[in-house]
Amino acid sequence: MTNVEQLELLYEIFDASLPRLAPGDTASTGKALDYALKALGRSDGLQVLDLGCGNGASTLELARRGIGAITAVDNHGPFLEELLKRAKGADVADRIQTLEADMATIAFDVGDYDLIWSEGSMYNMGVEAGLKHFRAGLKPDGVMALSELCWMKEEVPATCREFFMAEYPPMQDVPANLRMMESCGYTVLETSTLPESAWWLDYYLPLESRLATLQEKYAGDEDRMGVLATVAQEIAMYRGNSDYYGYVFYVLQV
């Protein structure tokens, strides 16, 4: 299988029709937004940037709250098309502008944004690099909210540790992330761990159904079945080891 074919398969697995593309739920987005708005001291007229927005799980919730103008960035066009379709359905499309681009290269001026949002996406450019890069885009009291995969315990089963050493080597525990965020010039306002339901209901369970469909479609295709098995392995890892790692929302202020 070529690299292009592998990427095509990944986009076929993580299809735009899925409810969302990373662990999360509306309540967790809403809770982080409440902290952000409290710190900002205002709740409308905001300039908001939603990085790696995918098919818009977070964008739609931010838009529903009527907080201001949202620029939703992703480098995969079909996700943005789906986001706009959902936004029209929710009657909030006029609050969202989409931008198909590599988030690391988008243009912004110093202090353009009140709020920068990144659910399960800052890892794409590296969390530390992203924090440093986007800090300049925030207004003097601006807020950054991001969710990130983290170790939740010091002692972790070897199979689990080895899996993530291979899949996501930069993964850290919460205290290490807090130190990194502070060293990048942010004050940490709030941290909150996503509940296990936020992994299953709108993310892993629909993804498992999709994998089952594709396993039928690609039965006998060793390469593609191998890629599908890797995604299934990630889900099985969480099923057996959810005490050891999690997704944590961090709300930070400049």
Residue ranges binding ligand SAM (CB under 6 A):
20-22, 24, 52-54, 57-58, 73-76, 79, 102-104, 119-121, 124
Closer to ligand SAM by Cβ: residue 104 or 254: 104
Q: Are 198 and 247 in contact (CB under 8 A)?
A: yes
- Least spacing, CB of residue 95 vs ligand SAM, in Å: 17
d(CA 186, CA 142): 10
Q: Which two tokens stand for residue 172?
A: 């850290």
Closer to ligand SAM by Cβ: residue 20 or 224: 20
Closer to ligand SAM by Cβ: residue 168 or 176: 168
Closer to ligand SAM by Cβ: residue 27 or 182: 27
Instruction: List, in order, residues 6 or more apart from 25 with CB less than 8 Å away.
Output: 194, 195, 197, 198, 201, 202
Q: Give bridge partners of residue 218 from the DSSP assignment.
A: none
- Least spacing, CB of residue 48 vs ligand SAM, in Å: 14
d(CA 253, CA 103): 20
- Least spacing, CB of residue 76 vs ligand SAM, in Å: 4
- Least spacing, CB of residue 125 vs ligand SAM, in Å: 6
- Least spacing, CB of residue 70 vs ligand SAM, in Å: 13
One-letter identity of residue 221: D
- Least spacing, CB of residue 147 vs ligand SAM, in Å: 8
Closer to ligand SAM by Cβ: residue 6 or 157: 6
Closer to ligand SAM by Cβ: residue 67 or 125: 125
